[in-house]
Amino acid sequence: MRKLHSLLALAFLLTCCNLMAQKDIQLTPKQLAGPPSDFQTGEMAAVDPSRTAIRSHSVMLPIQLMQGKDGSWRWRGEVAIEDPSVRVVILSGGDSWQLSLKAPFAKQASPASQLLSEFKQADLGMANETYPCDYYAFEEMQTGHWGLSLQSLAPIQTQGYLLISSEGPYRLFSYKATNQQLVGNEISFVSYGFDNRETAQIPSADRGMVQDAYMRLTSPDGEISTLPMFDDGLHGDDLAGDGIFGGSFYAQEVGDYTAQVFASGETPEGLPFLRSAEHLVPVIAPEPVVAEPVEPKPLADPDDTTFYTPGEQGYTDYPRFAG
């Protein structure tokens, strides 16, 4: 479970790096000190959460292989493809999972090897946090709903992730709308679909692109829950029916939460739309926690100045403190 949590955190970091790499995003440096006038004018106010949004062109699906009656292990799912150029990354912890795809309206699936334009085994990650993966590139995918299946005869790992990205212009704009990430607080998110060809720093929502959205929440203890998101004007989502979805959860414990937002719908051309965004949410206690004081251990004889080396009878290993 810890490895899966790390993979989600990795996806969050990679998405952020992709965001900062976009030429149309201007990051403004902010000082944390200044004259009193800055406080009065609000120049040191908290950053607008929408300016830290993730612009996702991919969907990351959790995978759980299940054993069938024939003894093999399988996972089946369906994904929406709206652009012919597609990239698929399988994160299986280095295990060998076989990928098959079923085209829209096809009667049976085909091995990925018959459809791909490139395949390679690589490491996905940053710095020392890397994970082995299988990378597939497809250049002439038919648009529509594709069936996907993963199979392994004797898997070492039965859990992992499937990352599917598209080169199309449509993206998911998703951000955490809450600044105070404290135990007991409500943590809110806002998400909507947009056209990436728009040049505005905060793009406008496409009213009909996202028609359904939900969150998959992983708590610090590994518990997973599914929470709905709403376009009703009552969950931080502006107006009802405007294509902007809002949702939230209450932080119950200290630690790292991961909120995966999944959004599905239809592009302006009538093609299926599916995206996800991964939000890493570290939660802290609302106030400092003071541990119980430790009683000092007195010397048996204050006047005894005899020193013992480790291993000798009479040696006591007192706590050491580093300054």
Residues 213 and 176 in one domain: yes
Is the separation of the CB atoms in 202 and 211 below 8 Å?
no
Chain-wide mean pLDDT for the chain? 83
Residue 214, domain member (yes or no)? yes
Q: Which of 18, 137, 144, 172 is nearest to 83 (CA)?
A: 144
Q: Is the CA virtual torsion 67, 68, 73, 79 positive or negative?
A: negative
Q: Is the CA virtual torsion 312, 314, 317, 319 positive or negative?
A: negative
Is the separation of the CB atoms in 221 and 283 below 8 Å?
no
Residues 114 and 180 in one domain: no
- For residue 36, pLDDT over 90 is answered with no
SS3 call for 114: helix
Is the separation of the CB atoms in 158 and 164 below 8 Å?
no
Mark 113-139 as b/e (b = at least 16 C-beta within 10 Å): eebbeeeeeeebbeeeeebebbbbebe
- For residue 129, pLDDT over 50 is answered with yes
Q: Is the CA virtual torsion 43, 47, 48, 51 positive or negative?
A: positive
Task: Calculate mean pLDDT across residues 43-54.
Answer: 79
Q: How many domains does the chain have?
A: 2
Amino acid 37 reads S
Residues 88 and 144 in one domain: yes
- Helix (H) / strand (E) element for 40: namely helix 36-41
Residues 150 and 227 in one domain: no
Residues 247 and 143 in one domain: no
Residue 178, domain member (yes or no)? yes
Is the separation of the CB atoms in 97 and 151 below 8 Å?
yes
Q: What is the pTM of this model?
A: 0.77
Residues 77-100 pLDDT 10s: 999 999 999 999 999 988 889 999
- For residue 18, pLDDT over 70 is answered with no
- For residue 31, pLDDT over 60 is answered with no
- How far is 210 from 277, CA to CA, in rounded Å? 13
- How far is 118 from 188, CA to CA, in rounded Å? 40
Please report the pLDDT score of residue 291 as a whole number: 63
Residues 195 and 235 in one domain: yes
- How far is 24 from 197, CA to CA, in rounded Å? 10
DSSP letter for 45, please: P
- How far is 249 from 263, CA to CA, in rounded Å? 17
- Could you give the maximum distance between any two Cα atoms of the chain, in Å? 91
Residues 209 and 155 in one domain: no
Task: Name the residue range of residue 188's domain.
Answer: 49-56+168-287
Residues 210 and 163 in one domain: no
Residues 67-77 pLDDT 10s: 999 999 999 99
Bridge partner list, 275:
263
